[in-house]
Amino acid sequence: MERILEQIPRFFSGPNMILLLESAGLTLAMTLMGCLIGFGLAFVLVYLRQTPGLWALPLRLVCILYVEVFRRIPFIVVVYLVLFFIQTVTPNASLFTIAVIAICLYAVAYTADIIRGGLESVPQAQVEAAQAMNLSRLQTNLRIVLPQAWPVIVPPAIAFAVSFIKDTALVSQVGVFELTFRGKELNNQGYSGILVFGTIALCYFLMSFPLSMLGQYLEKRLATPRGQRRSRKIWFT
Amino acid sequence: MPHLAVNDVRAKYGSLEVLKGINFSIEKGEIAALVGPSGSGKSTVLRALMGLTPITGGEVDIAGETMNYSSAKEVRAARDRMAVVFQQYNLFQNMTVMQNLTLAPLKIKKWDKSEVMTEARRLLGLVGLSDKADAYSDQLSGGQQQRVALARALALKPQILLLDEVTSALDPELVNEVLDAIRKLADEGMTMVIVSHEMAFVREVADKVVFMDAGQIIEAGTPAELFDTPKTDRARDFFSKILRH
């Protein structure tokens, strides 16, 4: 205990804090970029997966296979696969890029099912009303289905991203200078493990908590019937 | 040349044949009413006409053009000429009344915006909902939603309007406000095919009654012919049961 107290002033020194802040930023950037790109691609995947007609059967199978396979692989294995694959193709790709790609691949598989569930929660009658007016499949999805599916999609999608902030600790295994990696480094420099990882834990909490709050806020807001909202011109209408 | 002629239209759900060769026709400005027990295929006829249930045989003449719904293009062409009002209204929940009315005219038909807006306001007036243009459907009663759905269908300027049990989901006291709106359309000479259980209303507005059972037309004729002097036992049995009260 005394050792910890004695280390505190040295540990919370400028250079260490900058290191931690940098790696926290890296963790956050990696997660957000990976999840946002993955979320966007997941929409494309779901749209392709819903392509009707016999000719699109192989396409649908590929989409289903992708989701089912990636959901059954541990994230760390995806990270290693991406690492070795990318390094074979372009040897000087940065570790950050590799981490983002791995997160992205994983996020696509998970959020695709969240999105599909959301789209399927909109009654078929809404789709038929749009079809009867000659709206195309894309128009029906963008104008009718998706706006109504947001309340179902957004909360679990944010929950996924929040939990993923923690899971990115795994990419420290391949040497990305994210938060957990820095923790190990500082620990190796002789700082108390309790002190170091306590601080790291706090950092993770400070990154996830606001996002969780945002998720809860959106969940409440989206669940309010439209007519009761004060402002109607919100971005997803 | 009839305005709408349904010729030997057939449809299947899996291996079950739900329409076994439907034939009927109406002239411009006429109203045909499809009646019959639940599951007889009345609503399926309307769904088939809108291309929502694929037809497996037969063809449809709409305003002189023959269509067999065999390609996406033909289905689009058929949908372009008709509009449908559903039993459950099916208003777009994420849009205001006005947006519901103007979406397809602006984005699909690509009509002039100011004309579309003027027409939408006129139609809301016609169904008595001028003050609800900015409301969302969850702020409206069932009867109001159904009148909006009616206005939305009319905004497409259909050559034929299809009404699928439009009063069945409504509270009894809200039925009349919707029927009144349909009466107005009948007076304006709108060609309509309606599926309805409101026999008094059918007798009042329909030019032709088509009695269906088990995916077939059993008997067709004027309301007086079917209601008062049905020729088939099946029709006599059905009408004696439902016209008694």
Are A8 and A195 in contact by the 8 Å Cβ rule? The answer is yes
Average pLDDT over residues A126-150: 95
Nearest CA in chain B to A234: B94
Given this model, what pLDDT does residue A236 score?
45
Contact B52 A128 (CB under 8 A): yes
Given this model, what pLDDT does residue B1 score?
81
Cβ pairs bridging A and B (under 8 Å): 61
Percentage of chain B beyond pLDDT 70 is: 99
Local confidence band at A231 (pLDDT 50, 70, 90 cut-offs): very low
Nearest CA in chain B to A151: B94
Percentage of chain A beyond pLDDT 70 is: 94
Which residues, in sequence order, are CB contacts of A186 under 8 Å at separation 6+?
A: A11, A16, A19, A196
Which residues, in sequence order, are CB contacts of B235 under 8 Å at separation 6+?
A: B211, B218, B219, B226
Question: Which chain B residues are closer than 8 Å to A135 by Cβ?
Answer: 103-104, 107-108
ipTM for the predicted complex:
0.91
Q: Which residues pair with B193 in a beta bridge?
A: B32, B162
Distance from CA of A63 to the nearest CA of B (A): 25
Question: Which chain A residues are closer than 8 Å to B76 by Cβ?
Answer: 134
* Of the listed ranges A175-189, B80-94, B108-122, B185-199, the one predicted with least confidence: A175-189
Asked if the model's pLDDT at residue B85 lies above 90, the reply is yes
* Of the listed ranges A20-34, A66-80, A120-134, the one predicted with least confidence: A20-34
Asked if the model's pLDDT at residue A93 lies above 90, the reply is no
Percentage of chain A beyond pLDDT 90 is: 45
User: B245: part of which helix (H) or strand (E)?
Assistant: none
Contact B79 A143 (CB under 8 A): no
Average pLDDT over residues B139-155: 94
| Cα angle value B224/B229/B234 (rounded, 5°) | 115
Given this model, what pLDDT does residue B198 score?
87
Given this model, what pLDDT does residue A194 score?
87
User: B117: part of which helix (H) or strand (E)?
Assistant: helix B113-126
Are B35 and B225 in contact by the 8 Å Cβ rule? The answer is no
Q: Which of A132, A144, A226 sits opposite B50 (nearest CB)?
A: A132
CA distance B147 to B140: 10
Given this model, what pLDDT does residue A104 score?
95
* Of the listed ranges A231-235, B122-126, B136-140, the one predicted with least confidence: A231-235
Contact B103 A133 (CB under 8 A): yes
Nearest CA in chain B to A237: B94
- Residue A142's nearest CA partner among A109, A119, A121 is A119
Strands B31-35 and B160-164 turn out to be unpaired
Domain boundaries, chain A: 2-223
More confident residue, B221 or A15: B221
Are B194 and B181 in contact by the 8 Å Cβ rule? The answer is no
Burial B157-189 (b: 16+ CB within 10 A, else e): ebbbbbbbbbbeebeeebbebbbebbeebbeee
Local confidence band at B60 (pLDDT 50, 70, 90 cut-offs): very high
CA distance B99 to B172: 28
Given this model, what pLDDT does residue A228 score?
58
Local confidence band at B244 (pLDDT 50, 70, 90 cut-offs): low
Given this model, what pLDDT does residue A225 score?
63
Distance from CA of B104 to the nearest CA of A (A): 6
Given this model, what pLDDT does residue B223 score?
93
Domain B4-95+159-242 CATH (choose: 1.10.357.10, 3.40.50.300, 3.90.79.10, 1.10.3210.10): 3.40.50.300
Average pLDDT over residues B175-194: 90
Angle, helix B142-154 to helix B97-107, in steps of 10 degrees: 20
Average pLDDT over residues B111-136: 94
Asked if the model's pLDDT at residue A233 lies above 60, the reply is no
User: B1: part of which helix (H) or strand (E)?
Assistant: none
Given this model, what pLDDT does residue B62 score?
93
Nearest CA in chain A to B79: A132
This prediction has a pTM of 0.85
Local confidence band at A109 (pLDDT 50, 70, 90 cut-offs): very high
Nearest CA in chain A to B105: A133
Average pLDDT over residues A162-175: 83
Nearest CA in chain A to B107: A135
Asked if the model's pLDDT at residue A192 lies above 60, the reply is yes
Q: Which of B93, B108, B139 sits opposite A148 (nearest CB)?
A: B93
Contact A126 B92 (CB under 8 A): yes
Residues from A in contact with B at Cβ < 8 Å? 125-126, 128-135, 139, 143-144, 147-148, 225-227, 232, 237
Max distance between CA atoms of chain A, in angstroms, equals 75
Q: Which of B50, B107, B138 sits opposite A225 (nearest CB)?
A: B138
Average pLDDT over residues B199-217: 92
Asked if the model's pLDDT at residue A222 lies above 70, the reply is yes
A191-200, B138-147, B173-182, range with greatest mean pLDDT = B138-147
Contact A129 B103 (CB under 8 A): no
* Of the listed ranges A81-90, A117-126, A221-230, B149-158, the one predicted with least confidence: A221-230
**What mean pLDDT, rounded, does chain B reach?**
92
Given this model, what pLDDT does residue B121 score?
96
Asked if the model's pLDDT at residue A234 lies above 60, the reply is no
Asked if the model's pLDDT at residue B207 lies above 50, the reply is yes
Nearest CA in chain A to B95: A237
Average pLDDT over residues A44-56: 92
Distance from CA of A48 to the nearest CA of B (A): 19
Q: How many CA atoms lie within 13 A of A29 on its CB side?
A: 12
Contact A132 B76 (CB under 8 A): no
Percentage of chain B beyond pLDDT 90 is: 76
Are B138 and B93 in contact by the 8 Å Cβ rule? The answer is yes
Which of A122, A124, A126, A134 would best serve as a mutation to test chain B binding (most B beta carbons within 10 A)? A134
Nearest CA in chain B to A122: B93
Given this model, what pLDDT does residue A226 score?
63
* Of the listed ranges A39-48, A150-159, A187-196, A218-227, the one predicted with least confidence: A218-227
Which of B53, B94, B98 would best serve as a mutation to test chain A binding (most A beta carbons within 10 A)? B94
CATH superfamily of A2-223: MetI-like (1.10.3720.10)
- Residue B50's nearest CA partner among B159, B162, B146 is B162
Asked if the model's pLDDT at residue B96 lies above 90, the reply is yes
Max distance between CA atoms of chain B, in angstroms, equals 55
Which of B86, B92, B134 would best serve as a mutation to test chain A binding (most A beta carbons within 10 A)? B92
CA distance B141 to B232: 41
Average pLDDT over residues A127-141: 95
Question: Which chain B residues are closer than 8 Å to A151 by Cβ?
Answer: none
Average pLDDT over residues A159-184: 84
Distance from CA of A52 to the nearest CA of B (A): 12
